[in-house]
Amino acid sequence: MKALLQKLTETASPSGFEDKIRDLIRSEISAVTSSVKVDTLGNLIVTIGEKTVKGMRVMVAAHMDEIGLMVSHVEKNGLVRFTNIGAIFPRYLSGNRAIFLNGVTGCINNDRPDDLTKIQSIEKYFIDIGATSDKDCPVKIGDVAAIERGFVDLGKRVVSKSLDNRSSCAVLIETIQNIKNTPHELVFVFSAQEEVGVRGAQTAAYDIDADLGLAIDVTPTGDILGVKMQVSLGNGPAIKVRDQGMISDPRVVRWIEETARKNKIPYQMEVLEVGSTDARIMQVSKAGMFTGAVSIPCRYVHSPSEMVDMDDLNNTVKLLSALLSNPILLK
């Protein structure tokens, strides 16, 4: 899965501008199914199987967008000011590079602060693309960029930008390729604009009107200093119990946990205090649906150097394949 993951993470596609990543994902699954569509908001929707007497319509969502930057102003000296697309942490910006969707690259830095010990707010940062004035600047207001940071293979673990949530996209692609038989109608949604308010999942969930929904996303780990959370890299996928935006249906949590045990797949339980996923909006779409989430442990979330363990990704594929290939018993 590493080669696939590298292609996904190195494709720049911030929220609202998912064209390139959507085309890449579509090319990866084209040999498996032709039941693929793109909706108005830009979600890529893949359907497998038909709902039988013993089956359900199941929506499985993984967002394909990433956090990014948008030009808000160009200074007279050619330095480019920007605003955020999604939750950008200023502490990660200085010294990094940005790549615009038109191919222009630049380095990110900030105005000299009065107090060098304090992190400045985002409006104090700029992108230097080598322009000498606003007249010769090759980008304009509204142009979009992603952080430019390459994929690093550390063996069992890998580091890259946008592992949130391209790691889950890789898992969904592998799962789609793995499932041979299912009693369910499985609707896989590579959702748009999650980082700016789970917008793609909202419209997709309303249209699909599923019986059950699962969101696949990353979750922060508690195995680094100063973080109090019992999710660790390499200990398996995390079954979400609660996050800031939703409480998983206890019946769904039990079903996922029992399936993991039955198939001897390592897993962890997740209680997340800050942040949420597509599951938040799926749970309350229309008349609602049974909803849960499976999370991939990830260190340094929303930084240019996120880290995941390949064992966790592979075990998430195994867990999803087992969940979706058999009848669903909620009790």
SS (H, E, C) 40-65: CCCCEEEEECCCCCCCCEEEEEEECC
pLDDT exceeding 90 applies to what percent of the chain?
Answer: 90
What 3-state class would DSSP assign to 282?
helix
Q: What is the pLDDT of residue 295?
A: 98
Q: Using an 8 Å Cβ cutoff, are 329 and 184 in contact?
A: no
Average pLDDT over residues 7-32: 96
Average pLDDT over residues 293-304: 97
What 3-state class would DSSP assign to 73?
strand
226 has pLDDT over 80: no
Q: What is the pLDDT of residue 117?
A: 86
Q: What is the pLDDT of residue 321?
A: 97
Catalytic residue among 10, 28, 148, 194: 194
Average pLDDT over residues 74-93: 96
Q: Provide the mean pLDDT of the chain.
A: 95
Report residue 167's pLDDT band, with 50, 70 and 90 as the boundaries.
Answer: very high
Between strands 144-148 and 97-100, the pairing is antiparallel
291 has pLDDT over 80: yes
Q: What is the pLDDT of residue 105?
A: 97
pLDDT exceeding 70 applies to what percent of the chain?
Answer: 100
Q: How far is CA 8 from CA 28, 44, 143, 158, in A?
A: 10, 15, 22, 13
The span from the CA of 331 to the CA of 230, in Å, is 26
225 has pLDDT over 80: no
CATH number of 68-148: 2.40.30.40
Report residue 161's pLDDT band, with 50, 70 and 90 as the boundaries.
Answer: very high
Q: What is the pLDDT of residue 285?
A: 95
Q: What is the pLDDT of residue 222?
A: 85
- Tokens coding 56: 């359900």
Report residue 221's pLDDT band, with 50, 70 and 90 as the boundaries.
Answer: very high
- Topology alike, domains 2-66+161-325 and 68-148: no
Extents of the domains making up the chain: 2-66+161-325, 68-148
83 has pLDDT over 80: yes
Q: What is the pLDDT of residue 300?
A: 95
pTM, 2 dp: 0.95
The span from the CA of 287 to the CA of 289, in Å, is 7
Strand partners, 97: 107, 148
Pick the CATH number of 2-66+161-325 from 3.40.630.10, 1.20.950.20, 3.40.190.10, 3.40.50.300: 3.40.630.10
Q: Is 194 a catalytic residue?
A: yes
Average pLDDT over residues 143-167: 97
Helix residue ranges per DSSP H, 227-309:
250-262, 279-283
What 3-state class would DSSP assign to 327?
coil
pLDDT in tens, 94-107: 999 999 999 999 99
Q: How far is CA 285 from CA 25, 41, 72, 216, in A?
A: 26, 16, 34, 17
**CA end-to-end span of the chain, whole Å?**
34
227 has pLDDT over 80: no
Element (H, E) at 2: helix 2-9
Q: What is the pLDDT of residue 31?
A: 82
60 has pLDDT over 80: yes
Supply φ then ψ for residue 218, to 5 degrees: -90, 165
The span from the CA of 157 to the CA of 152, in Å, is 9
Average pLDDT over residues 184-201: 97
Q: What is the pLDDT of residue 54?
A: 87
The residues near 133 (Cβ < 8 Å, ≥ 6 apart) are 76, 77, 78
- The amino acid sitting at 148 is E
